[in-house]
Every structure is written in structure tokens, then in C-alpha cells.
């Protein structure tokens, strides 16, 4: 398993407004992942229809669109061993009330329509989402000084 798998993690508008950016970044940083891209941005309908392509026919999709367009989103890319799957573990379940305490959604959210964070659900979708939200030149490659303490 490679140490440079990448995942797309976004703090949704409610997470940004609730001041949870530092907490969410800290969780990924403390786990040992490397931040390779970060920006505060606004999502439009075109982008969100691509991002949530599998959900456009769901009854809740119009509400999901307005939720995701209700304010700035912090888009981030994290790199590390098994980052996609472990990123979802850090997030918790889609429904915050089904998420264990200790997960981000389990600790900070109550409703599925206000679940504060997004995380890619597969390596393939991570690649798709990273390409959708970031330009290639916005992703930075570097070797963290801590690497020898995180990977053997
Ligand atoms: P995920 O974010 O855990 O991957 P998905 O099923 O991909 O979950 O759904 C995307 C987002 O759509 C969820 O994070 C949540 O904000 C919203 N969502 C999913 N299911 C529902 C629902 O039943 N009602 C309202 N919003 C939902
Ligand atoms: Mg999803």
C-alpha cells in the first residue's frame, strides 16, 4: 500500500460557519496525513452536480445543493497510507447520529443534512473530486520533516 494515496476532504458551509475548520484540520494532521492542497471556495451548481453525480435524482438533492451553496467551503487534499478509507473513518457515518463518538460527525453534528464534512468514498472518486475542485498547480508536493516518525 502506497504512502501517497490522496483523498478529498471538504469542510462544508455549516462546518466553516461553526468555526470547526481548525478542529477538522487538526484531526487529519494529528493522524499523520500530509496536507497537499487547501483553499476556501464557493461551490456552484455545475460543480456540485458533478461532485454529487450519483445523487442528482435523489429527493433531497435540491436541499443538498442549497446547503452546499449556502456559504464558503474549505476544500482540502490529504495524502498518506490508506488516506481515502481512513479519512472516512475519521469522518464517521453519513448520518451523524449513527456515528460513534470520537469521529468528526459523531462529535460535532446531529443531522444528515448538516453533517459538516465531506470525504471521498473510493480512490477512484478521490481522483475525480480532486481534479474537480483543484487545478494541478494548486497541489503541492513536499517531504514533511515528521515523515520518519510516522512511517517506518
Ligand atoms: P457521504 O457524504 O457520507 O459520502 P452520501 O450518501 O454521498 O454521503 O451523501 C452526500 C451528502 O448528501 C451527505 O453527506 C449529506 O450531506 C447529504 N445527504 C445524504 N443523504 C441524505 C438524506 O437522506 N437527507 C438529506 N441529506 C442527505
Ligand atoms: Mg458520498
For 48, left (φ over 0), alpha (ψ -120 to 50), or beta? alpha
> Does any ligand 1 atom lie closer than 6 A to the CB of residue 60?
yes
**Which 8-state DSSP code applies to residue 144?**
-
What is the per-residue pLDDT across 19-53, written as a single tens digit (0 to 9) for each?
999 999 999 999 999 999 999 999 999 999 999 99
pLDDT averaged over every residue in the chain: 97
Query: Partners of 117 in the beta sheet?
Result: 11
Closest residue by Cα to atom 16, ligand 1, is: 113
Distance 60 CA to ligand 1 centre (A): 9
Closest residue by Cα to atom 8, ligand 1, is: 94
pLDDT given at position 53 = 98
Residue 84 to residue 9: CA distance in whole angstroms = 9
- Kindly calculate the radius of gyration of the chain based on its CA atoms and give it in whole angstroms: 15
pLDDT given at position 2 = 87
Closest residue by Cα to atom 9, ligand 1, is: 94
Residue 73 DSSP SS3: strand
Residue 89 to residue 85: CA distance in whole angstroms = 7
- Active site (annotated) includes residue 51: no
Burial 111-139 (b: 16+ CB within 10 A, else e): eeeebbbbbbbeeebbbbbbeebbeeeee
Other CB atoms within 10 A of residue 147 CB: 12
Order of strands across the sheet that contains 5-11: 34-41, 73-80, 5-11, 117-119
Distance 54 CA to ligand 2 centre (A): 9
pLDDT given at position 113 = 98
pTM for the model: 0.98
Give 131's pLDDT tier (boundaries 50, 70, 90): very high
Amino acid at each position: 500500500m502506497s504512502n501517497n494515496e490522496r483523498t478529498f476532504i471538504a469542510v462544508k458551509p455549516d462546518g466553516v460557519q461553526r468555526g470547526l475548520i481548525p478542529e477538522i484540520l487538526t484531526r487529519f494532521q494529528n493522524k499523520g496525513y500530509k496536507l497537499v492542497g487547501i483553499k476556501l471556495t464557493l461551490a456552484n451548481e455545475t460543480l456540485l452536480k458533478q461532485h454529487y453525480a450519483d445523487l442528482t435524482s435523489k429527493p433531497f438533492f435540491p436541499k443538498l445543493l442549497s446547503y452546499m451553496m449556502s456559504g464558503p467551503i474549505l476544500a482540502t487534499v490529504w495524502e498518506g497510507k490508506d488516506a481515502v478509507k481512513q479519512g472516512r473513518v475519521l469522518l464517521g457515518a453519513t448520518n451523524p447520529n449513527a456515528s460513534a463518538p470520537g469521529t468528526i460527525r459523531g462529535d460535532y453534528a446531529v443531522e444528515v443534512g448538516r453533517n459538516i464534512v465531506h470525504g471521498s468514498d473510493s480512490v477512484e472518486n478521490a481522483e475525480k473530486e480532486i481534479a474537480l475542485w483543484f487545478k494541478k498547480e494548486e497541489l503541492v508536493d513536499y517531504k514533511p520533516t515528521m515523515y520518519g516518525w510516522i512511517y517506518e
